[in-house]
A and B are shown apart, each in its own frame.
Chain A
Amino acid sequence: DAGVIQSPRHEVTEMGQEVTLRCKLISGHNSLFWYRQTMMRGLELLIYFNNNVPIDDSGMPEDRFSAKMPNASFSTLKIQPSEPRDSAVYFCASSGDSLSNQPQHFGDGTRLSIL
């Protein structure tokens, strides 16, 4: 089975530009998580969805960040406008029916550099 698929793997863009990160869940999974990883702050949960509905977005840094699930198998994380401090590796992960006992399956991440 295919795992969680993220695209692009690398993105380099200038500050002020819009950035869109994409994630395809594992078939049959209905929970979706977006994380950001940096050396300074480690792994941070930005937002998670269950059955396409955002459950907790308290980790989203500010209004420049938005995430959507237009269907059950796909999600986007958008940054507009982007800033150099947004540079990080962004991971998405999916899991089965409920968060509590189900492990998460991570994609390989998008390495984002904002110049």
Chain B
Amino acid sequence: GDSVTQMEGPVTLSEEAFLTINCTYTATGYPSLFWYVQYPGEGLQLLLKATKADDKGSNKGFEATYRKETTSFHLEKGSVQVSDSAVYFCALSQNDKIIFGKGTRLHILP
């Protein structure tokens, strides 16, 4: 069945470091792909999305490109801030189903 695999955390970086959180998926057909972010004590918020191959989603300095050839949707940011500390979820949706990865906790040190 469809699945999402993302790198295990926690990921700890210093402020202004480059961030990559890996996400790969397994799906038949052409799913839409999402990154959500969860701050402490809150629900998930959509960070960015891509609906077809080679689309790039971007928001708040974060980017992810829908790579069908590698079935990946890696999240990147060039210079992280302490305020980026949160849990990040990769997700796919298709055929009235949505599947979330297990989440990656990110700690940014000042």
The answer to whether A and B assemble together is yes
A contact set with B: CB distance below 8 Å? 4, 33, 42-43, 45, 50, 55-56, 91, 93, 98-101, 103-109
Residues of B close to A45: CB separation below 8 A: 98, 100
A-chain residues with CB within 8 Å of residue B95 when the two chains form the complex: 100
Majority DSSP secondary structure for residues of B touching A: strand
- Answer whether residue B44 sits at the interface, using C-beta atoms and an 8 A cutoff: yes
How many residues of chain B get a CB closer than 8 Å to chain A's CBs?
21
Are the C-beta atoms of A106 and B98 separated by less than 8 Å?
no
* CB-based contact A4/B103 at 8 Å: no
Query: Interface stretch among B10-18, B45-53, B60-68, B70-78?
Result: B45-53
Whether A103 touches B46, Cβ cut-off 8 Å, given contacts A42-B103, A43-B103, is yes
Looking across the interface, which residue of chain A has its beta carbon closest to that of B34?
A103
The 10 closest A-B pairs by CB, nearest first: A106-B43, A103-B46, A42-B102, A106-B44, A99-B96, A101-B32, A43-B100, A91-B43, A108-B43, A100-B93
Task: Give the shortest distance, in Å, between A57 (CB) and chain B (any CB).
Answer: 13
Instruction: Evaluate whether A108 and B93 lie within 8 angstroms (CB atoms) in the complex, with A45-B98, A100-B32, A103-B34 already known.
Output: no
Q: Which residue of A lies closest to B101 (CB)?
A: A42
> What is the count of residue pairs linking A and B with beta-carbon distances less than 8 angstroms?
51
List B residues at the A interface (Cβ < 8 Å). 31-32, 34, 41-46, 49, 51, 89, 93-98, 100, 102-103
Contact partners of B102 in chain A: CB under 8 A? 42-43
Q: CB distance A56 to B46 under 8 Å?
A: no
B-chain residues with CB within 8 Å of residue A98 when the two chains form the complex: 96
Contact residue among A56, A91, A99 (Cβ-Cβ distance under 8 Å from B93): A99
Of the candidates B34, B42, B100, the one whose C-beta lies within 8 Å of that of A42 is: B100
**Could you tell me if B100 and A93 are in contact, using CB atoms closer than 8 angstroms?**
no
The one of B43, B49, B100, B103 that contacts A107, using a Cβ cutoff of 8 Å = B43
Q: Can you offer 14 A-B residue contacts whose CB atoms are under 8 A? A: A33-B98, A43-B89, A45-B98, A50-B96, A91-B43, A98-B96, A99-B97, A100-B31, A100-B32, A101-B93, A105-B46, A106-B42, A108-B42, A109-B42
Beyond A106-B44, A108-B41, 12 additional pairs, beta carbon < 8 A: A43-B89, A43-B102, A55-B96, A93-B43, A100-B94, A100-B95, A101-B32, A101-B93, A103-B34, A104-B44, A106-B42, A106-B43
